Structures are given as structure tokens and as C-alpha cells.
Amino acid sequence: MKQLKRRWLVYAISGLILIGAGLSLSIEAALYRFQNIGGFSWIGYGTVALIIFNSGICLFGQGVIYKVRLDDKRQQELNN
């Protein structure tokens, strides 16, 4: 049960950090686009930002899965 809780915390917190970082980088890429800084370099920057954002969503989703497993295990222990 400790391992499930640790995995839940690691995945959920990591996911939230990556979601925030990806959104921040996406906004910065949009600013680069509108300011025409570096021509078309904003495309690569925005692509990396979206990869980070989507990775955060995947990690957070895995954290939700571990949380559901943890809750199920706790419920089973209460029923026994």
C-alpha cells in the first residue's frame, strides 16, 4: 500500500509540474510568434512545449489510476 501511495504522489505531482511548465512554454512560444523573434523558431519551441504539456497529462492520468487502485485497496481492507 505504501508503494501505491508513493507512486500516486510521484506521478500526480510530476504531472502537475509538467502541465504547468508546458502551458508556460506554450504561452512563451505564442509571444515569440507575435513578436517575430527568431523567425520561425517559435514552431520548434511550441512543439516542445506541447510535448511537455501532453507528457504532464499522461503522468497525471497515471497518478489518477494509482489513486483509484489505492482507494480500492483501502476499501477492501475496510470490508475484511
How confident is the model over 22-72, as pLDDT tens digits?
999 999 999 988 888 767 888 999 999 999 999 999 999 999 999 999 999
Residue 8, C-alpha cell as written in the block: 500516486
Q: How many other C-beta atoms lie within 10 A of the C-beta of residue 45?
A: 19
What is the Cα 53 distance to its own chain's centre? 6
Global confidence as pTM: 0.86
- Per-residue confidence band for 73, with pLDDT thresholds at 50, 70 and 90: very high
CB 16 within 8 A of CB 60: yes
CB 67 within 8 A of CB 12: yes
| Residue among 5, 15, 1, 2 at smallest CA distance from 62 | 15
